[in-house]
Amino acid sequence: MGDRIIVLGKAYPVLAAELHLPLVDGRRCLFLSVAGGPRGQEDGVTLGHVEFALLDSLDALDGKRLHLSREGESFPDDTLGGDAIGIGEDMGWSSSWTVNGDAHVLGEIQLDFSQVRSERYRCRLVCTLRRQDPMTGGPAGDEMLELVAEFTADVDEVDLLAGCR
């Protein structure tokens, strides 16, 4: 079971993956980056500013799922209490996928965590991609593509935005 990203039926190796869950103002905040695709490190998915209201410690991450949409909708199978506080902000969800010359943004996401050992997790990200409106940066049109990323990453509590607050 290798690390891979699948989009439009094609599989690409994961070239890099980062998983950070710092405690910010008493709540866990996610930063996730997975790189790989037809343009190498230029393609990938980044999630930031997603709070986990129901995760007190990293030890409780095993078997949990984040499931929410760009519009902030959460789903009953979200066991982490996901809250997309950064949607629409510069450091919110992003995707650098380009399909047929069009940039795409993330729509709905599901992210599952399975502990391999100590701080190492096997993750499975399933998300929809929608064409990005060049004027607003948000989604445009109704066409959706599915992206699946399966990867292993070490989780830590490094706060990448500490100097920006």
Does residue 64 sit within a domain? yes
Check residue 19 and give its pLDDT.
Answer: 93
Q: Which domain holds residue 52?
A: 4-156
Burial class (CB in 10 A: 0-12, 13-18, 19+), 54: middle
Does residue 161 sit within a domain? no
The pLDDT tens digits of the residues spanning 81-106 come to: 877 654 444 434 556 676 666 778 88
The pLDDT tens digits of the residues spanning 120-154 come to: 999 999 998 888 888 887 778 777 889 999 999 99
Does residue 29 sit within a domain? yes
Does residue 165 sit within a domain? no
Does residue 67 sit within a domain? yes
User: What is the model's pTM?
Assistant: 0.86
Check residue 96 and give its pLDDT.
Answer: 63
Does residue 40 sit within a domain? yes
Does residue 162 sit within a domain? no
Number of domains forming the structure of the chain: 1
The pLDDT tens digits of the residues spanning 9-57 come to: 899 999 999 999 998 888 888 888 898 888 888 888 888 778 888 888 8
